[in-house]
Amino acid sequence: MESDKDRDHKKLGKELELFTFSDSVGKGLPLWLPKGATVRRELERFIVDEEIRRGYLHVRTPDIAKLDLYKKSGHYPMYKEKMYAPIVIDDEEFMLRPMTCPHHFELYLSKPRSYKDLPMRIAELAQLYRYEQSGELMGLQRVRAFCLSDAHIICKDEKQAVDEIGKALDLIEYINSIFGLKLGKDYWYVLSLGDRENTEKYYKDDAGWDKAETLLRDAMKKRGVDFKEAKDDAAFYGPKIDINMKNANGKEDTAFTVQYDLSSPQRFNLKYIGDDGKEHNAFVVHRSSIGAIERIMAFLIEKYNGAFPLWLSPVQIKILSIGEGHIEYAKDVLEKLKAENIRAELDDSNESLGKKVRNAKTDKVPYVAVVGDKEVRDMKISLESRDKGKLGEFEINKLISKLVEEIKNRT
In tens, the pLDDT along 116-156 reads 999 999 999 999 999 999 999 999 999 999 999 999 999 99
Question: pLDDT-derived band of residue 200, with 50, 70 and 90 as boundaries?
Answer: confident
pLDDT at 378: 97
Chain centre distance of CA 233 = 22
What residues does 273 pair with on adjacent strands? 114, 279
Confidence category of residue 389, pLDDT binned at 50, 70, 90: very high
Look at residue 197 in the predicted model and tell me its pLDDT: 83
* Threshold 0.85, pTM exceeds: yes
Write down the pLDDT at residue 96: 96
**pLDDT level of residue 2 (50, 70, 90 thresholds):** very low
Q: Which of 39-43, 175-179, 183-187, 201-205 is predicted least confidently? A: 201-205
pLDDT score for 1:
38
* Domains of the chain as residue ranges with CATH: 4-304 (3.30.930.10), 317-409 (3.40.50.800)
pLDDT digit string (tens) for 212-270?
999 999 999 999 999 999 999 999 999 999 999 998 888 899 999 999 999 999 999 99
Instruction: List pLDDT tens digits, range 327-383.
Output: 999 999 999 999 999 999 999 999 999 999 999 999 999 999 999 999 999 999 999
- Predicted confidence band at 3 (pLDDT cuts at 50, 70, 90)? low
Between CA 164 and CA 153 the distance in angstroms is 8
For residues 275-285, average pLDDT? 97
Strands 145-155 and 283-292: what pairing?
antiparallel
Q: How confident is the model at residue 113 (pLDDT cuts 50, 70, 90)?
A: very high
Other C-beta atoms closer than 10 Å to the C-beta of 92 total 11
pLDDT at 77: 80
The residue-averaged pLDDT of 53-63 equals 98
